[in-house]
Amino acid sequence: MQMLRTCFMLFTKALRKNAWDPSEDLEEALKIRLDKADVNIAAYDISVEEEKKVVESFERLRRRVYEWGLMDSRPWYYVMKSLTTSSFMFIAFYLQYCEWYLTSAICLAVAWQQFGWLTHDCAHHQPTRNRKLNNMLSIVFGNLVQGFSSDWWKDKHNTHHAATNMIDRDRDIDLFPLLALIPSDILKYKLPAERFILKVRYIVIPLLLTYSTVESSLFTLACVLFTCA
């Protein structure tokens, strides 16, 4: 109850007329800290010797990862995960048939989130050593089940790995308007609805993190029960 009261107070505070307006003094504030906050790692400046040390260190780590077997395919794990995730989806359909709409929505959200990770892993060719099979599975989980292009996502995600956290290149850190990971992104919030999201972001983010934690716990429990059964 205390948590609900606190969230309500924060929410009402965000909606006050004197709440922070993104258009007020924002550009001046960003000028002061932009060079420190928006550090673009694409513009790093190190010597050739330092770069060589970084590459050699990474190669040692990569060899160790392979030696530990962390890059080995685990097809049976993905068989189990696919069955468990599919079970969540069919349970959601059944609950909707029984008119348990809220519970159905939760199960469906868990299924979609896990199908997203299955698409991710298949696009990374983790389930099997057969790349064609992995690509086909990514199309099934992405295009067929969730309705988005796995090829589009793969291109976007490969750019993320090739230019990780590089501003204006890594599209995975461009989460506007839900989140502003870069201070300069605040300048994009111009419409009333976008400014509303900006004002209540400190409420939305904890809710997203809470859902992610609960969802992961539920799916882990389901995997354990499925394995024991």
Q: Where are the alpha helices (DSSP H) in the chain?
A: 2-14, 26-37, 48-67, 75-97, 101-123, 131-139, 150-162, 192-199, 201-228
Please state, as a whole number, how many other Cβ atoms lie within 10 Å of the Cβ of residue 54.
10
Q: Length of the chain in residues, anyone?
A: 229
CA distance 160 to 137: 21
Query: Using an 8 Å Cβ cutoff, are 123 and 161 in contact?
Result: no
pTM exceeding 0.85:
no
* Sequential pLDDT tens for the chain (229 residues): 444 455 445 445 544 443 444 444 445 544 544 444 444 555 566 777 877 887 888 888 888 988 888 888 888 989 998 999 999 999 999 999 998 988 898 888 888 888 988 999 999 888 998 989 999 999 999 888 888 888 888 888 888 888 777 777 777 777 777 777 776 777 777 777 777 776 666 666 667 667 666 666 666 666 555 555 5
| DSSP code at position 69 | T
The residue among 175, 161, 168, 172 whose CA lies nearest residue 38 is 168
